[in-house]
Amino acid sequence: MKLSNIVLVAGLWVGMALPVYALDADCPDLLYNHGYASSAQFKCGYEFYNQSVIDRAAECRAQAVEEGVEEELMNILRMGVDDFNTGYDSTSSKHRFCAMVAEEYSDFVAP
């Protein structure tokens, strides 16, 4: 399955998992992608991670704490981590997988 399809499916699931509250609509997708991309940075050895993503993720987390949905949002982040690890662990070409992730997540990471 293509990475963007995984993110889309996760985004649909995420949208159903969190209560509506005042949490910004982009927070669940951002946290999923942040979990995915930060795992990629660690395992693939990327040198760059977009600081604005880190800042925005922190804002989303603070908002989730305020709304009482921090646990749900952190579960979404962990889902991104788990999905990356599943893809990484199941591929025979780690280098090719990392190159594909760097391309798909270029707003987040860079080699």
- List pLDDT tens digits, range 70-79: 999 999 999 9
**Is pTM beyond 0.85 here?**
no
Q: What is the pLDDT of residues 18-27, one digit of tens each?
A: 444 456 789 9
Query: How do the domains of the chain map onto residue ranges?
Result: 3-110
d(CA 35, CA 39): 6
Indicate the DSSP class of residue 18: S
d(CA 64, CA 59): 9
